[in-house]
Amino acid sequence: MSTDRSALFAFLLGGVIGAGIALLYAPQAGYETRKRIRHGAEDAENWARDTFRDTVEGARETVAEGTEKVRHIISEKKEDIHVAIQAGKDAYYKEKDRLKEVL
């Protein structure tokens, strides 16, 4: 999936560069060309910022979900360990009492 995003980013970056070059060779006034390039750069910057923000937010959500799952699993295992320890203690005392009666 990372390769797909890299390829998409490279394709879009190539398109932006190509569009910029086309604008430079277009038959119009210099100030108009610079204005169009500036707007194109601002649009590209906004797109990159939004994409980065979305990616970071998605990563945060994934980490939060994973953390919650791990906490839940640890809580379950902690309870299992507690029950096993208690069962071991009960068995120990029961056997200890049985041996006292035998001896």
pLDDT at residue number 19: 79
pLDDT at residue number 2: 63
Closest CA to 36 of 49, 21, 51: 21
Q: Tens digit of pLDDT for each residue in 29-46?
A: 777 777 877 888 888 888
Using CA atoms, how far residue 47 sits from 12, 53, 56, 101, in Å, is 11, 10, 14, 81
Q: Which domain holds residue 86?
A: 2-102
Question: Across residues 4-11, what is the average pLDDT?
Answer: 80
Closest CA to 20 of 39, 45, 47, 48: 39
Residue 81 vs residue 22, higher pLDDT: 81
Q: CB–CB of 44/16 below 8 Å?
A: yes
User: Rounded to an integer, what distance in angstroms lies between the CA atom of residue 81 and that of residue 69?
Assistant: 18
Tally of domains in the chain = 1
State which amino acid sits at residue 3. Answer: T
Q: Tens digit of pLDDT for each residue in 55-93?
A: 999 999 999 999 999 999 998 889 889 998 999 999 899
